[in-house]
Amino acid sequence: MYVYRPAGLPANPAVVVALHGCTQTAQIYADNSGLTKFADQQRFVLVLAETTAANNAGQCFNFFEPGDNRRGQGEAASIRQMVAHAGSAYGTDPARVYATGLSAGGAMTSVMLAAYPDVFAAGAVIAGIPYGCADTVSAAYTCMSPGVDRTPSAWAQSVRDANPGYNGPWPRVAVWHGDNDTTVVPRNAVELRDQWTALHGLDQAPDRTSTIGPNQTRREQYLAPGGAVAVEVDRVPSIAHGTPVDPGTGAQQCGAAGTANFIRSICSSHWVTAFFGLDGSAPDPGGLPAPGGLSATGATDTSVTLNWNAVAGAASYAVYRDGARVATPTAAPFTDTGLSAGTAHHYSVAARDAAGTEGVRSAEVAATTTGAAAKCWTASNYQHVQAGRATTAGGYAYAKGSNQNMGLYNTFVTHTLKESPAGYYVLADGMCS
């Protein structure tokens, strides 16, 4: 554990944990990432964890080792202890603990957010992978390239499984990835987005898009019901695998680009610490208030009808089912169709202005369609194939209908499949009883 403690540290400062990439050291990350500049300006404690060749021959954090990527074990527990030590030594604020890292350090950031969501308020994953993607070295390489595609709900379940019984609140997450990264392919940015938007109960359609910085980095933001940014994806054009930096003395410049995996582009540390709220900025709550009076006024086997009070200045409304935006009607009432019989859903509504900007979402209301519920089966991949609920190809099992990859075709991998409609199966691990 290395610590950068700026002069004039206030009482109860925030703490940012920085995790270096493979072959790097804590000193290299401190010298080149630009984080020390913002620690000085924003007066937070910077904790730089360092792994060694004794842990990993390539000096990579062991994000893929079950003994290191679980709560209370190995490297994950060690990093957690560093946070605790910073609290006792420097009086840091336990409500303002953040993590960021590159590559293996980015993947380890995912580990810390998943294993300790009660400790970390937010994190920024730079060129990393989702939590739960790999528990072996070979799986880690597959996750890095070509990447692994899972449903948002399956990714979210991996995080829930890391800390059973914990139901939130979940850390806010920023994802940074270079468009030309061939080491950890950009597909991982999509899967990370899917993982954390699903945990926050959001869909995968951005609520706001923009460009930032001198190189026009493309930003996608996914807003929580109160209007704060819960998940953010920053896609950096024309860079390969590394931490984006922008050497210079400008307010939005930082870092050094003379060392491998620090790439001249945009000062990611400026935007990351702003995402953490360390620059004093406040979340944008949106311009329109939440619609009142949301209620479910009717249901059939395949539909739910909703009503709500109109909001002055609203040009349309965004209707959310189970956290996913499903429609943008111009007014109430609205009927959500194409549902399965006997299924329960949660709805919320947000008003949208003429530009399509959403305001604050309403409180949720529950509704259940009539009729019989969908059927669910929990079994090994081998049993699913033998029962006709899945097919096999190339040694892998695929859910019939949805064709979702269920993993290796054997008796050891177990999944829950939901059938709805008849003959169409989807992965429903932890979501179907």
State the pLDDT confidence band at 264, using cuts at 50, 70 and 90.
very high
pLDDT surpasses 50 at 303? yes
Helices and strands, number each (H, E), in the chain:
9, 25
Q: What is the mean pLDDT of the chain?
A: 92
Decide whether 2-275 matches 295-368 in CATH topology: no
pLDDT > 90 fraction of the chain, expressed in percent and rounded: 77
Residue 217 has pLDDT above 60, yes or no: yes
Sort strands 344-352 and 365-368 into parallel, antiparallel or unpaired. antiparallel
Among residues 33, 103, 110, 362, the one annotated as catalytic is: 103
Please state the rounded mean pLDDT for residues 278-284. 66
Q: What is the pLDDT of residue 281?
A: 62
| Contact yes or no for 256/31 (Cβ under 8 A) | yes
Q: Is 103 a catalytic residue?
A: yes
Residue 128 is predicted with a pLDDT of 98
Confidence class for position 283, pLDDT limits 50, 70, 90: very low
The pTM of the full predicted model, rounded to 2 decimals, is: 0.69
pLDDT digits (tens, 9 = 90+) for 374-391: 788 999 999 999 999 999
Architecture of domain 295-368: Sandwich (2.60)
Question: pLDDT tens for residues 167-178?
Answer: 889 999 999 999
User: What average pLDDT score do residues 200-214 get?
Assistant: 91
pLDDT of amino acid 285: 47
For the cut 60, the answer to whether the pLDDT of residue 433 exceeds it is: no
DSSP state of 151: -
SS3 276: coil
**Residue 29 three-state SS:** helix
Buried b (16+ CB within 10 A) or exposed e, 23-43: ebebebbbebbbbbbbbeebb
Average pLDDT over residues 307-327: 89
Where on the phi/psi map is residue 338: left (φ > 0), alpha (ψ -120 to 50), or beta? Answer: left
- Domain locations in the chain? 2-275, 295-368, 375-427
Q: Which of 56-60, 99-103, 383-387, 393-397 has the highest mean pLDDT?
A: 99-103
DSSP character for 372? Answer: P
Q: What is the CATH number that goes with domain 2-275?
A: 3.40.50.1820
Reported as a pLDDT band with limits 50, 70 and 90, residue 287 is low
- Which token pair is 276? 């953490």
The set of long-range contacts for 49-53, using a CB threshold of 8 Å and a minimum separation of 24, is 49/1, 49/2, 49/17, 49/18, 49/19, 49/20, 49/78, 49/79, 49/82, 50/1, 50/2, 50/20, 50/25, 50/26, 51/75
Question: How far apart, in whole angstroms, are the C-alpha atoms of residue 6 and residue 26?
Answer: 17
Give percent above pLDDT 70 in the chain: 97
Check residue 373 and give its pLDDT: 67
| CA angle, residues 201, 349, 293, in degrees to nearest 5 | 125
Average pLDDT of the residues in 108-115: 98
Is 70 exceeded by the pLDDT of residue 286?
A: no
- What confidence tier does 359 reach under pLDDT thresholds 50, 70, 90? confident
d(CA 52, CA 252): 32
